[in-house]
Amino acid sequence: MEAYLDNAATTPVFPQVREVMDRVMGEDYGNPSSKHTKGMVAEQYVKEARETIGRELKCQPGEIIFTSGGTEANNMALIGGAMANRRAGKHIVTTRIEHASVHEPLAYLEELGYEVTYLPVGPDGRVSLETVEQAVREDTILVSVMYVNNEVGSVQPIGEIGAMIHQIKPGILFHVDAIQAFGKMRIRPGKLGVDLLSVSGHKFHGPKGVGFLYVRDGAKIRPILFGGGQQNGMRSGTENVPGIAGLKVATEMILQENGRKREHLLSLKGQLVDGLGALEGVTVHALEGVPLEDTAPHIVSAGFAGIRSEVMLHALAQEGVYVSSGSACSSNHPELSGTLQAIGVGQELLDSTLRFSFSVNTGEEEVAHALDAVGRLLPTLRRFTRH
């Protein structure tokens, strides 16, 4: 059998998502900026998607800007937010465990003269409120903290951070990369004190190539794409109507009976963590002293002493078990994981760690198959490891 356990990289789209996208591409293919009937039908898909997401986030539809995905949403939030507020200061605060689509735009801003403070995290992968508080200065204009870490599944205290930084300095923009959190956590940006929130559709059974950025009404950001002035001038370019229509359906479906789905994912995580913990030389990261329910329900990071992650990954693939050696984007950056280093993982496990991740479609039998494969492979692979 097969066990696809790389859902933090991407998820298969729901059949209903495929159906609506096919209809839009084949029948309702108009440009939403066109004034004729075909255009108005296409525009309606965009409007309804914006309203659906607004309902789920308890925000105004106009606070949603559709993007090509999470990377663009993060770039728009960070570069656009920094540029719009540079007269108030050029200091930005983030953590050492952010996704590359946050770290790379911040590196670009540093080249432009902005100063970025990178905060440490504990072995549990969480940043402390005290650390954030001490980092905020008079010239701080932006704080960016991811909700759920994409490699180890740690969950940040977003609500507490949002309340604290706005109390220290009300004008600060608080950006949250919620790409691994949306569909797994209850997210209400207004209650959490979040000004900018990034989401990507293909992480919760929507299509690739579409996502959105929530921008709180009144939050100042500048567009980073210019052209036709679509989406009130904030994101020029013809809207990806099939993708947006699919995103709407995926949003509705993933959030139906969300509590039950979360419990299912937590049950799978417990099954995998218990199974891995019983194997010799296996270390599950960022869980010591942390209740399972306080972590992301769909991500498990484990180190396999004495075996390179790439070797283990390919051996598992031969058994029909598909996992990742870290962030899916890290294949373009072959250096050792900055997240694992930040949480204090020892040198011997930095290149011996795999990420397992579930979706609502994952079953107990797939986890059992993965555990059986790992258990059989470990002694064989270690036997052939060079010392």
The 10s digit of each residue's pLDDT in 268-287 is: 999 999 999 999 999 999 99
pLDDT of 329 higher than 60: no
| Average pLDDT of the segment spanning 223-228 | 95
Tokens (6 digits) for 107: 């590196």
Residue-level pLDDT at 327 = 53
pLDDT of 206 higher than 80: yes
| Average pLDDT of the segment spanning 290-313 | 96
| Average pLDDT of the segment spanning 341-357 | 95
Give per-residue pLDDT as tens, 90-112.
999 999 999 999 999 999 999 99
Separation of alpha carbons 33 and 178, rounded Å: 29
Separation of alpha carbons 81 and 24, rounded Å: 33
pLDDT of 332 higher than 60: no
Give per-residue pLDDT as tens, 144-160.
999 999 999 999 999 99
pLDDT band at 387 (very low <50, low <70, confident <90, very high): very low
| Average pLDDT of the segment spanning 81-89 | 97
Q: What is the pTM of this model?
A: 0.96
pLDDT band at 267 (very low <50, low <70, confident <90, very high): very high
Domains recognised in the chain with CATH numbers: 3-11+258-383 (3.90.1150.10), 15-255 (3.40.640.10)
Q: In what order do the strands lie in the sheet with 64-67?
A: 64-67, 211-215, 196-200, 173-177, 140-144, 91-95, 115-119
Active site (catalytic) residues: 329
The whole-chain average pLDDT of the chain stands at: 95
Asked whether the beta carbons of 137 and 91 are under 8 A apart, the reply is yes
Task: Output the 3-class SS for 30-43.
Answer: CCCCCCCHHHHHHH
Tokens (6 digits) for 205: 């059974």
- Number of CB atoms found within 10 A of residue 106's CB: 20
pLDDT of 334 higher than 60: no
| Average pLDDT of the segment spanning 339-354 | 94
Give per-residue pLDDT as tens, 126-140.
999 999 999 999 999
What is the residue whose two structure tokens read 């942390």? 290
Asked whether the beta carbons of 336 and 363 are under 8 A apart, the reply is no
Residue-level pLDDT at 333 = 47
Residue-level pLDDT at 337 = 86
